[in-house]
Amino acid sequence: MTKPKILITGGCGYIGSHVAKLLTKKGYQVVIIDNLSATGKKIPYGKIYPIDLSEEKEIIKVLKEEKPEAVMHFAASIVVPESVAYPLKYYRNNVENTLKLLSAMEKVGIRKFVFSSSAAVYGIPDTVPVPEEAPLNPINPYGRTKAMIEEILKDLSEAGSLDYIALRYFNVAGADPEGELGPAYNQPTHLIIRALKTAKREYPYLEIYGTDYPTSDGTCIRDYIHVMDLAKAHLLALEYLMSNGKSLVLNCGYGIGFSVKEVVKTVKKVTNIDFKVVETERRPGDPPVLIADNKKIKTILSWEPEFQSLETIIKHAWDWEQKF
C-alpha cells in the first residue's frame, strides 16, 4: 500500500531534514518548501521547492500540483535574543507566513497539520516538570509567536476546518546517528553546537549567559532531546492524525534537566578537549528552568525515546561537527 504524500515546510533545516529522512525511509513521499535561508543547502530527500512562505500564490501552486495529504510546518525564525531585538521580523515570518500557509491549505482542502511549537510558550512555569495544561505566558517574542499560532490552530480546529498536533519542543540537539544530517545553521546559537565549535577552536571561548539563576549551580537548566527522537515523535503524530486522531498539544522532552555548566562539562568529556569559558550577564528572555512533563506523548502516541543520554546526544553532534 502506497503511503501518503507529505509536505514539509523548512524541510532542509535542522529538524525538518531529519523528519524528511525518517518519513522517506518509512515509505512516505516527501515534498519540501524551504527558502534555504537557514542553511543555504538542499538535502537528498524529497522534492524541493525553494520558495518563501510569504508567497501564498506559490504555496497554492505547490499544494495543487503535489496534492499532499498533510503538512508538517517547521519553517520559522527561532533565535530568542534576536526575537527580542527584532520582534517584527518574528511576527512577520512566524505568524504572518503561517497564516498564509494555513490559508493556502484551506483553499486547497488540506486539513491535517503538524506544527513545530516550543516550550518557550510557557515562559517561566510555576510547575516543573511543566505539563501541557500549564498556562501559556511566554516572556519573549519568539515564544509569543508560537503561542499565537497555537491559538489560531485551536480556533481552526474548533471551526471544523483543521486537525492538528502542536509539538512543544524543549531543547533539540544531536545529529543523525548515521552521520548524514546534522545541525546546519549559518549562525548557531544553541549551547551544545556553540560548545562543540569552541572545542574545534572556531570560537576563542564559550559564553555562559548568567550564573545567578535560582538553580543548583546558578546556570539555566534545560531538557535536551535528541533530534532523531523528536523526528520519531513527528512520525507518530502524523500517523495519529492520518488515523483520524483529534487535535492535540504535546510536550517533546525527556523530563530530565541539565544545567549549562553540566552540559559544558559533558562536552569537554566527550570531546576530550578543554576550552575557555567566559561567564557573562544573563540574556533577555531566558527562563531559569524548563523541563518537560512527557507523560501525555508517551501515553497517547506510545512514544519511547532511544537516545536519552546527554553523552549520546553530544557524541552524535560531535561526530557531525568533525566532518567540517
- Edge-to-edge order in the sheet of strand 221-222: 258-259, 221-222, 289-290
b/e map of 9-20 (b: 16 or more CB within 10 Å)?
bbbbbbbbbbbb
Backbone φ and ψ for 183, nearest 5 degrees, come out as -60, 135
User: Of 176, 274, 193, which Cα lies nearest the Cα of 232?
Assistant: 176
As given in the structure block, the three cell numbers for residue 300 are 497517547
User: Of 284, 278, 305, 310, which Cα lies nearest the Cα of 294?
Assistant: 305
How far is it, in rounded angstroms, from Cα 188 to Cα 14? 11
Cβ within 8 Å of residue 215, ≥6 positions away: 221, 259, 288, 289
User: Of 25, 8, 315, which Cα lies nearest the Cα of 173?
Assistant: 315
As given in the structure block, the three cell numbers for residue 154 are 485551536
- Three-state SS sequence of 73-87: ECCCCCCHHHHHHCH
Q: Say if CB 43 and CB 11 are below 8 A apart.
A: yes
Backbone φ and ψ for 49, nearest 5 degrees, come out as -110, 110
Radius of gyration for the chain, computed over Cα atoms and rounded to the nearest angstrom: 19
Q: Is 224 a catalytic residue?
A: no
Catalytic residue among 14, 90, 142, 213: 142
How far is it, in rounded angstroms, from Cα 255 to Cα 119? 12
List, by residue number, the catalytic residues. Answer: 142
